[in-house]
Amino acid sequence: MDAIKIRISGTVQGVGFRPFVRNLAARHRVCGWVCNTSGSVEIAAEGEAAALAAFTAALRAEAPPLARIDSLEWEAVPAAGYASFEIRASISEEGGFQPVAPDIAVCPDCERELFDPDDRRHLYPFINCTNCGPRLTIIRDIPYDRPRTSMAPFEMCPRCRAEYENPDDRRYHAQPVACPECGPRVWMEPGMPAAPGSDNQIAMRARHASPLQNHSPYEPLLTARRLLREGRIVAIRGMGGFHLACDAGNADAVLELRRRKHRSGKPFAVMVRDLAAAMTCCEIGDAERAQLSGREKPIVILRRKEGCPVVEAVAPGNGTLGVMLPYSPLHLLLMHKGDPVLDSESAPAALVMTSGNLSEEPIAIGNDEALARLGPLADAFLLHDREIIQRCDDSVVRVFGVRAQRAVPEQMQRSVPVQLKRAVPLRRSRGYAPAPVLLPFDAPPILAVGGELKNTFCLARGRYAFLSPHIGDMENAETLAAFEESVERYQRLFHTTPEIIAHDMHPGYLGTRWACDFAGGRKRIAVQHHHAHAAACLADNELSGKDPVIALAFDGTGYGPDGAIWGAEVLVADYRHYERAIHLEYLPLPGGDAAIRKPWRIAVGFAAALELPVDDLPFIRNLDAREVETVRAQAARGIHAPPVSSMGRLFDAVAALAGICTEIDYEAQGAIELEELARGRIGAEGEYPFAIDGENIRVRDLLAAVTRDVRAGESAGCIGARFHNTVRSIAVKSAQTVRAARGIRGVALSGGVWQNALFLQLAVDALQEAGFEVYTHRRVPANDGGLALGQAAVAAAMEA
């Protein structure tokens, strides 16, 4: 009889790992025990040598679907003479920590039970099991046990307790397990929407109070379905926060939501009833289908079909829709068709589901908070009493194609390029956070605070880098408070007190100022913005960093050590070092941030600096002449016109010159509309001239050619296509220039401009054709949502 002690680290709590181990032990006739600790799962195993070897191998090979084993270590120990195999109570260890599973969409078994009239959880909005349901959003501390979650107040009834304690039941130690008898409940409350020009919110509340009664368990759901069908706006408390919902097929309802939310043009996300409904709206291939129906169920950016029943006001002027399927039981109940109880109040097949907040504020999570903040936005509230511990917005992904080599079966001596599709994240939150990214080296406890826009932070320790869910733009006190709450929660959850604080180099960022105050006497490391982008891409691709790469860090804004605004950077970079090899020539940004909101100012400023006449172009005719002259004076004198080297601003300038977008309602609107118009024209159009002059990319000839095309009456789509072809060539020729000088083949693409799917596809294809090994983001966004990972990796490398 041999005996071993096994220690397993990774995502192995709250995912059914202990009953899996128990059943595996029974199959291999192994005796001993398994238990959770604060830092791992520990196993004592005794049996024949061959049985122990098979048992240990099966731990990795057959792990539950939500488990992720990062390390498995074992050692021989003296046999204790165990007669059976048991699951022991959890042990809390001082200083122990481990990954926590993200929230997971409702599984097929629970969905089947949800609509089974004979099941005791029929139509229960909080059905879950070990394979699905909330995790991060309900947990207070580890080990992950019910008393340490927001389910602690709900004492299990005897039948739920029996399931919870039965290792053969799929609800064994499913911490959120509940039923209508003992678990959370839903109810309706009226909102306080203010009519245009009216401030009589009390009267509005009284007007909506009568239909929102809660006499039966099903009435809140039926009322919500009826209100949505009638064109009302309903605030819905979900797993990670509130959504504001309305019928996506009702233009009046969508426009009213825009009015109330002060969101004039930015696209809304849509939740559709099922995959068939999604296929009615959008073009869906295998890769898109896999993302929509997977266990994470993110919002997927899809091409809109002709005749799509979702109204234009959901995503005005945009050929794409952000689509997701229902991921919680409550969402399924709001949209399901075919249940006799629910069908008494039919529901729309597609709902706008946008974050429950006013523009630029964090998503609301508490009932009282939502009633206060969202009361003027919603006609009614669908509430529940399971506390949300951690805010967690919906994740967003987009599918793009990557080239690979596939052998030709009949002629195995050669291969042909094929297009494979995979998802790239645009926002990493629900379903993904806080699953860690593994660093290529051990890190001391580090807190990286991320950037100003699309903020996330990163808590790193050992090989683990834990990114927070999406927090938002760090531009107000409310977002800073949400950031601080999440940082404190992550420190407690992962039992980590940071010794090093990493932050952006920009002295004016709210996150930088907070980091300086928070650090106290602890070490601070300021990481240059685009170096952090490069390092994030390296870490996302699990690269060691021993060999530098050519990093094409293209975005809108990043603070350079020379005090200028960077954003079109060709770097030679590893984790510890970076060197600026090539960049867009400096041009003035008249008005600073004001120019970002009014791209015409960028176009006028760039044209003035490059001595390009634009007074006869259509975009300038409706502008105030005095304001135009002020902008030109700012550009000429360098007064409140910081020098900028930015690919994002170049997109803005071209969009304005072409008359596509002179003022924006949301970030990157000009670039998004330019991309949309360029689609379908790429292959038929050429490109504009440019030059690489030493370390400068010269764009006078490029912008002069754009103005000539505008005067010649070329369409905006033609100009957009030629411009996209041009920036593709800028990317390739810049990389070739560095390769010729340094012999580097690897190219990392990072920064917000790479969210442009058309540009990404063009550049990746062309770079691969030119013989480069191309690295794109896989698990964290290329935008500033991935910046904290890069900051943490740089800080860890500097300390290694």
CA distance 426 to 454: 10
pLDDT in tens, 496-521: 999 999 999 999 999 999 999 999 99
Please report the pLDDT score of residue 94 as a whole number: 73
Please report the pLDDT score of residue 126 as a whole number: 98
Q: Quick one: 194 exposed, middle or buried, by C-beta within 10 A (0-12, 13-18, 19+)?
A: middle
Peptide bond into 434 cis (omega under 30): yes
Contacts of 124 (CB under 8 A, 6+ apart): 114, 178, 179, 180, 183, 329
Say what the pTM is.
0.93
Q: If you compute the radius of gyration of the chain from its CA atoms, what whole number of angstroms results?
A: 28
Beta bridge partners of 34: 43, 87
Residue 205: pLDDT over 50: no
Q: What is the dihedral of CA 483, 487, 489, 492, to 10 degrees?
A: -170
Please report the pLDDT score of residue 215 as a whole number: 67
Please report the pLDDT score of residue 304 as a whole number: 96
Residue 413: pLDDT over 60: no
Q: Quick one: 357 exposed, middle or buried, by C-beta within 10 A (0-12, 13-18, 19+)?
A: buried
Listed residue (274, 281, 375, 381) closest to 321, CA to CA: 281
- For range 450-463, the mean pLDDT: 96
Residue 691: pLDDT over 50: yes
Could you please report the per-residue DSSP string of 83-108? -SEEEPPPB--TT-----PPPBPPPH
- For range 189-212, the mean pLDDT: 54
Q: What is the mean pLDDT of the chain?
A: 93
Residue 402: pLDDT over 80: no
Strands 380-384 and 234-237: parallel
Please report the pLDDT score of residue 1 as a whole number: 86
Please report the pLDDT score of residue 200 as a whole number: 39
pLDDT-based confidence at residue 303 (cuts at 50, 70, 90): very high
Contacts of 95 (CB under 8 A, 6+ apart): 38, 39, 495
Q: Residue 10: enclosing H or E segment and its boundaries?
A: strand 2-11
Place of tokens 């945009």: 318
Residue 468 vs residues 91, 108, 148, 751, 786: alpha-carbon distances, Å: 26, 28, 20, 19, 10
- DSSP assignment, residue 147? G
Contact 697, 730 (CB under 8 A): yes
> Residue 537 has which token pair?
């891409």
Peptide bond into 196 cis (omega under 30): no
Contact 143, 91 (CB under 8 A): yes
CA distance 498 to 525: 13
pLDDT-based confidence at residue 344 (cuts at 50, 70, 90): confident
Please report the pLDDT score of residue 464 as a whole number: 95
Residue 410: pLDDT over 70: no
Residue 208: pLDDT over 50: no
- DSSP assignment, residue 391? -
- For range 423-430, the mean pLDDT: 96
pLDDT-based confidence at residue 358 (cuts at 50, 70, 90): confident
Listed residue (628, 613, 592) closest to 700, CA to CA: 613
Please report the pLDDT score of residue 196 as a whole number: 54
Lowest mean pLDDT among 199-203, 334-338, 521-525, 793-797: 199-203
Please report the pLDDT score of residue 472 as a whole number: 93
Handedness of CA 375, 476, 466, 574 (dihedral sign): positive
Contact 360, 476 (CB under 8 A): yes
Q: Within its chain, how far is the Cα of 402 from the centroid?
A: 21
Please report the pLDDT score of residue 345 as a whole number: 81
Q: Residue 314: helix, strand or coil by DSSP?
A: helix
Contact 497, 419 (CB under 8 A): no
Q: What angle do CA 248, 251, 254 make, to 5 degrees?
A: 60
Contact 25, 85 (CB under 8 A): yes
Please report the pLDDT score of residue 646 as a whole number: 97
Residue 414: pLDDT over 60: no
Provide the terminal-to-terminal Cα distance of the chain, rounded to the nearest Å: 43
Residue 542 vs residues 181, 440, 442, 545, 779: alpha-carbon distances, Å: 48, 7, 13, 9, 11
Listed residue (554, 560, 547) closest to 731, CA to CA: 554
Q: Residue 32: helix, strand or coil by DSSP?
A: strand
Q: Residue 234: enclosing H or E segment and its boundaries?
A: strand 234-237
pLDDT in tens, 314-336: 999 899 999 999 999 999 999 99
Listed residue (746, 739, 753) closest to 782, CA to CA: 753
% residues pLDDT > 70 (the chain): 95
Please report the pLDDT score of residue 652 as a whole number: 98
Residue 737: pLDDT over 60: yes
CA distance 258 to 256: 5
- For range 222-233, the mean pLDDT: 96
Residue 734 vs residues 109, 552, 698: alpha-carbon distances, Å: 53, 9, 12
Q: Within its chain, how far is the Cα of 564 from the centroid?
A: 29
The one-letter code for the residue type at 238 is: G
- For range 330-356, the mean pLDDT: 91
CA distance 389 to 241: 10
Residue 351: pLDDT over 50: yes
pLDDT-based confidence at residue 194 (cuts at 50, 70, 90): low
CA distance 353 to 238: 11
